[in-house]
Structure 1
């Protein structure tokens, strides 16, 4: 297949592109200089010219706290940009694969979220991503929406890299202990996306590392240090102790079983994924 990947190079796309290429696909990675998805005519022109079978959108505004004060810019990139992509894909007959987030949920369910559970975002970032999902569902018959969570990898800023950097610099570590999520290694996610787009089982999916019931950020931080062979004290904090503009869900673990049922792909357990990332 000919596959266009937007938002290159980024945390996800930098791993996704070589994985798709190794699988034998013709991959066209596009930087923001190649394609700014907020520009409608540029999007339509690029998709008509390239005529990909699949477009995987890794472009997005991901500064969750900053988004609270930048509603217009957040929705311009995360919602309007996706609206442009969806319309262009519909015209060209291209399948759209959109990367979404656990932050479409409010965290009050008390169990891992399944794809069909009702969303209720608490912050601007989550609202912008949910709006994009709804636009795709309304405009397209052939699409994949892949919700993921707490992404980390060797490219770009992420929690694992931040914890390791602070520990190696001898800086104090304070981590939230009462918010539970599913960590996701970018390679795990990329392999799952590959299996999804090859399945042609269109729809909405959850895809993270395999995590039984999730893990708190505090416990994940401890696991990172232990796996890296670093001994540092971590101060546990309640989420209410942090003065962050954007509210987060207390429990946003994603249930990935349906994605596994459809694709046969079983992501690595988070402990093994972390170990492979660090070696």
Structure 2
């Protein structure tokens, strides 16, 4: 079965390439090779690759920059998605699209269900929600996967930023009143593989009978402060960090950013686990595995230099 992955070079696409077994013929294209904002580029790539499934891991994810670059955010996160949907429909292939917890406003005190009404509070979230709708309005068998707080050993993310700061700063202050769930990109990729594997090998059949949205993150909840403390403690344990610097919990009001964030954006995975049979793993366990991999990759890099 041939699978086309957009967003090559990003953290999710990198993990998808790792986890898909050889029985899949995987073609990953970067934004230079496939610009999803360009409808003709999308059509050409899908016509050339002839995939059974397209996995859209391309996105404009600079949450704060999106506030001043609204057009670009909507071009990538909405128009790009709509282009993919139309091209997939014309080619008869399925589309798996990755969205975000930021489609919600964070005013709930309990985890968000798939059918809760979205109400984004920043440009990034609004562009991602419109992208979801752009896809599901076109494709009858689209799969949308909302996730949150994604990190890996590739690219820019909270874990790598914290490790760098903890190696160079005497102490840190981290927001303690925004609650969500850290998600290792590898675990998200494993879930996407599970969904893609449901597609009949070599057959042009729908993944699902109608558009479906899944919520998928690692298990558990955390504040950014909790996440940072876990990174520090595991970093010390694994020898990545030399000393446990103090980490001070602060409210978001003391660290203003251009884009407002949801104060609570935990996604409920009960329905997803029940319908797919795939179970979540606690975020701290996933962080432990990611840091083991990060340590091993660092040793290999040092050995090559």
TM-score category of the 2 structures, normalised to the smaller one: over 0.9
1:227 equivalenced with 2:226 (yes/no): no
What does residue 6 of structure 2 align with? 6
Calculate the aligned-residue CA RMSD, in Å: 1.2
8 Å Cα contact 1:6-1:59 kept in structure 2 = yes
Instruction: Find the aligned partners of 1:259 and 1:194 in 2 and give their Cα distance.
Output: 14
8 Å Cα contact 2:170-2:246 kept in structure 1 = no
Instruction: Find the aligned partners of 1:171 and 1:136 in 2 and give their Cα distance.
Output: 47
Moved over 6 A (4+): none
Instruction: Find the aligned partners of 2:100 and 2:147 in 1 and give their Cα distance.
Output: 5
Instruction: Find the aligned partners of 1:239 and 1:260 in 2 and give their Cα distance.
Output: 32
Structure of greater Rg: 2
1:203 equivalenced with 2:212 (yes/no): yes
Structure 1, residues 76-125: CA drift from partner, whole Å, max 9, x if none?
11111111101000100111111100000000111001111110000000
8 Å Cα contact 1:163-1:173 kept in structure 2 = no
Deviation of 1:171 after TM superposition, in Å, equals 4.7
Deviation of 1:10 after TM superposition, in Å, equals 0.7
What does residue 271 of structure 1 align with? 284
8 Å Cα contact 1:179-1:239 kept in structure 2 = yes
Unaligned 5+ residue runs, structure 2?
A: 199-206, 237-242, 293-305
Aligned length: 276
Deviation of 1:23 after TM superposition, in Å, equals 5.6
1:239 equivalenced with 2:252 (yes/no): yes
Q: Give the SS at the match of 2:145.
A: strand
Instruction: Find the aligned partners of 1:210 and 1:243 in 2 and give their Cα distance.
Output: 28
> Comparing 187-196 with 228-237, which one deviates more in the overlay?
228-237
Q: Give the SS at the match of 2:137.
A: helix
Deviation of 1:267 after TM superposition, in Å, equals 2.5
Structure 1, residues 122-149: CA drift from partner, whole Å, max 9, x if none?
0000000000111111111111101000
Q: Rate the CA distance shift 1:233–1:71 in 2: closer, same or farther, 3 A.
A: same
1:128-167 to 2 correspondence within 5 Å?
Answer: 128-167=127-166
Q: Give the SS at the match of 1:12.
A: helix
Structure 1, residues 140-166: CA drift from partner, whole Å, max 9, x if none?
111110100000001001001111111
What does residue 19 of structure 1 align with? 19
